[in-house]
Structure formats: structure tokens, C-alpha cells
Amino acid sequence: MGAVGLQTHIWANNTRSVILLVTFPILLIGIIYGIQLILMGLGVLPGTGKALSDDMALAASWLGGTIPLALGVAAIWFAIAYFGSQTMVDMLTGARKVERRTEPELYNLLENLAISRGLRTPTLRIIDNDSLNAFATGLHEGQYSITLTRGLVQSLSRDEIEAVMAHELTHVINKDVRTMVIASIFAGIISVLAELVFRALLYSGGGRRRDDNKNALPLILIGVAFAVVGFVLAIVIRMMLSRTREYVADAGAVELTKNPDAMISALRKVEGRSSVKGPDELQQLFLDNQPDGVGLEGLFASHPPIQKRIDALVKFGGGRDPGAWSGEPSPYGGTSVPLAG
Amino acid sequence: MITWIIIGIVVLVLLFIVVGGYNKLVALDQRADQSFADIDVQLKQRQDLIPNLVETVKGYATHERGTLDAVTQARAAAAGATSVNDKVQAENMLTGALGRLFAVSEAYPDLKANTNFQQLSAELSDIENKLAAARRFFNSAVGEFNAVRRQFPTVLFAGLFGFGSDKPFFDVGEGDRAAMNAAPPQVKF
């Protein structure tokens, strides 16, 4: 059943996310299998000495032992990366914490949204930066934080800022930060494995020490194919996952504010003005993040194109698209956000 | 043996589809009810403002008894309505009566200059905006419920669980819209 409205749109994307997340361990298994084939082809691991299919079956039979080993290593990696990620994000952004006293209007907007969902209000932070962007961070309750750029606060109207906050709050409610950290750790493990494979091939390329496997070439080729496909898919799936979460957050913002138009006009204003420099792990948390190029880049983009996000809001949220922002300052522009309006 | 296993699997799949569909309908139904409650909050706030507004207008526009009575009556009807349909009708009446009241008030410069009146009308127009947003959201939630209810295979068993009919939308009635348009601002000297 396809999406017919906001809630079914959210459900469809959540199902997609689960399917995408489940593919990561499968990719990992595929890559491990590929590595075993390569090692067998290089003569590091003993082959059967028989036909290619026998060698491949033998490599498959090892998976029973290597998969638990790989999962164990992945778990330790997870533990370290998981607890490190928050400190890293905090260090990199240089965002300033905002209190109720200094920015009462902004703080109240966020607090009202949080109260309406029965959440503890996340920490509100502001980066003094002219670009228009926002992001949510934090892996646990009490750690959650929503950051806006100064440019965003200045150029968006009150309703639009509320929509952006609701978008980020939806990321918090859905624990998207955690999901994306998990995805990026998986992608990290897979890319390290892939790199190991290529290095191993490079060093052994010249003179093979024990070239006793007669299926060496096909084994290596099949193994490399597994590793390459796994590596590329890991990146593509991580980004697909990220894009799916963006659609859910947009829909969630409408759900919270009941105002699809504000989310659409906020996206229109952010369009083309969102560049904030940061590492990949941070980029994918942003409100918007577009690759510099076109074409195939779409497959590796952490965010869907603004137009597609707006189309989804119009189709499922009943919003109206005012068209590209002409760039004139908003009637509520200024250093703070007036409550009236 | 094999046939029993196949029958078992088929029954399980059917059960899965029915349970999934039922849970979906319950969630969407609940969501629509919840968003109607959001409309209700705004309606209540609007009703609470009206006695104050009527008192203020009474002090200036002494010749508008008919319009004022219409507002008071519409408010009483709105406050007394219980079912969604009744509420929608009563609130549309109230919207129309309020529209006429504000149209009439154009003729009284003293009233328009009154700070209390200005504040009340600002508050009312803010509520109207929120009401419009809440109504739009409610209508899309209702539309979604109705669409999923009518989709295959949900349509086959929706009736069994008490989801046999579509939910009503919150329409701004055509008749009331005509009534609102039929009462142009009357300028009296």
C-alpha cells in the first residue's frame, strides 16, 4: 500500500529505513566472503585444490566462524565510536548554548514544541554563521541538542523557525542521530575492510609467495567484485537511509506544527544558502546539505533535493509551494524573533 | 503434512494482513480524533472570548442588537454541540455571525479605536489562523483514514471492526459561506 497521507508517508519511510539498516550486516557478510575468496586466491588460506565451485563452497563454510568474529570486532568498534561521536560533534561545531534569558522567544518556541510531545526540552544552541542551516545532535535523553545558525534565525519568520525546530525535534524523537551514527559506523567498518583488501592486493601483486591455488585469478576477481559492490552499496545505503529520515522529519514537522506552508517556505529560504562546513558525520545531520555536483551525486547525497522534499510536503501534507524565494528579507527579520505574527 | 503446513502459512499470512491493517486503521482513527481535539481547543478559546467581545461592542454599537444576539445564540449553540457534525455546523454559524459583527463594527469609529476591541479582534484573528491550520490538518488526517479504509485489502474487513464508514470532514459549509458574503458591511450615518 502506497502513501496516501502524512502518516502513511511516515510509515512507508520508516519501513524503508528498517530494510536499509538490515542490509548493513548482509553487506558485511558479503565483504567478509569476498575477503576470504581473495585470501584463498592469494594462497594465504588453503584451497581445496579442486574446481572453483568447491573452493567457493569451502570459503562459504568458513563464514560460520568468521561472522561471529567479525560481529565481535564490530561490537567493540561500535562501543568506542558510539561514545566518541558526541564529544566529536560538540568539539567541531563551536556552537554556543542559548538560555531562556538571552533568547526568550526562540527558547519558548522550542519549549512549547517539546512540551506538546512530552519531551524534556533539548539544549538550544546557536552558531554565529551567516548560512541558513540547523541540526540535531545527541544520542541519549539529556544529551539532545538542537542547533540553529544565526543566519537562519535572522532570515526566517517565526512560523518558519518553528517548522525548522519541529523538523529537528522529529529527528530527536525518532532517534535519527543514533540511527545515522550506527549507519556511519557500519559504513566505516566496511570501508576499512575494503581498504585492507586493496592494500593486500597491491602488496601481493608483484610476486606471490605460495601460488598453489589453480583458481587464483577467478577467486581474486570474484572476491574483489564482492568487496567493491559491498563498499559502494554501503555508502549508497547509508545516504539513502539519511534521505529517508529527512522525509520523515519534514512530515513530522508538519505533524507538530500543523503548518505545512511554514516548512515549505523555510525550505525555500534555506535552498542554496545552507552550506556549513563540517565533517561527513555532521553534514548528514543538517537541515539541508547538497552535494556540489549533479548527476550521479544524487545517489551519494545525504539529503533529498529541496524540490523533492517540497513535492512530498505538498502531496502528503497538503501544503502550498510559493516557489523559489526571491531573497527579500522577511517581515520579521532582525536580531530576534518577534512573538506576534 | 505438507498441505497442513501450507494451510498454516496461508492462515498466518492472512492473520498478519488483518492485524496489520486493523492496527493501521486504529492508529489513523486515533490520530484524526486527536487532531479534532486540537480544533476543539481553539474553538473553546474562541467561545471564551465572545462574551467579552459582545459586551465591548454593546457599549458602542447600540443599534446592532440583532447582530449581537445572533453571535450570542451561535456561541450558545456551539458550546452545546457534542457530535462532530453538530460542532462543525454550530461553529460555521458562529464564524458567519462573527464575520457580520466585525463587518458592522466598521461603522463605529469609536468602537474601532477601543483598545479592548482591538486586542480582542487581534486575538480572534490569531485564533482563526490557528483554527484554519488545525482544520487543514484534521481534514488531511480524515482523508488519510478514509483512503486507507477504502484501500484493498483493508476494505474487506474494515466493516467488521467498526470502521465501516468514512469519517466526516470539517467543511466550511457552502451555505454559511453564502451567508457571510450576503452580509456586506453596512455603513450607517
pLDDT at A156: 92
The answer, yes or no, to whether ipTM is higher than 0.90 is: no
CB contact under 8 A, B140 and A317: yes
Instruction: Please give, rounded to a whole number of angstroms, the shortest distance from the CA of B35 to a CA of chain A.
Output: 9
pTM beyond 0.80, yes or no: no
Residue A312, chain B, CB below 8 Å: the answer is no
Nearest to B28 among A7, A259, A318 (CB): A7
With respect to residue B72, please indicate whether it lies within any of the assigned structural domains: yes
Nearest partner of B79 among B49, B52, B109, B124, judged by Cα: B49
Give the residue with greater pLDDT, B179 vs B83: B83
Torsional class of A59: left (φ above 0), alpha (ψ -120 to 50), beta (otherwise): alpha
pLDDT at B145: 93
Residue A132 phi/psi, 5° resolution? -105, 105
Side chain identity at residue A144, one-letter code = Y
With respect to residue B85, please indicate whether it lies within any of the assigned structural domains: yes
Instruction: Please give, rounded to a whole number of angstroms, the shortest distance from the CA of B27 to a CA of chain A.
Output: 9
Side chain identity at residue A124, one-letter code = L
Cα A7 from chain centre? 22
A217-244 mean pLDDT: 88
In CATH, what number is assigned to the domain containing residue B115?
Answer: 1.20.1440.20
The pLDDT confidence band at residue B174, using thresholds 50, 70 and 90, is low
Grid coordinates given for A6: 502524512
With respect to residue B78, please indicate whether it lies within any of the assigned structural domains: yes
In tens, the pLDDT along A103-127 reads 888 998 898 888 888 788 898 988 8
B14-34 mean pLDDT: 92
With respect to residue B118, please indicate whether it lies within any of the assigned structural domains: yes
B25-32 mean pLDDT: 92
Catalytic (active site) residue A111:
no
Give the rounded percent of residues in chain A with a pLDDT score beyond 70. 83
Instruction: Please give, rounded to a whole number of angstroms, the shortest distance from the CA of B63 to a CA of chain A.
Output: 34
Assess whether pLDDT exceeds 50 at residue B180: no
With respect to residue B189, please indicate whether it lies within any of the assigned structural domains: no
Residue A258, chain B, CB below 8 Å: the answer is yes
- Taking CA atoms, A242 is separated from A15, A302, B19, B77, in Å, by 13, 5, 30, 50
CB contact under 8 A, A6 and B140: yes
How many structural domains does chain B have? 1
Nearest to B147 among A5, A258, A259 (CB): A5
Q: Which domain holds residue B100?
A: 2-182
Nearest partner of B143 among B167, B159, B173, B161, judged by Cα: B167
pLDDT at A65: 85
pLDDT at A181: 81
With respect to residue B141, please indicate whether it lies within any of the assigned structural domains: yes
pLDDT at A207: 52
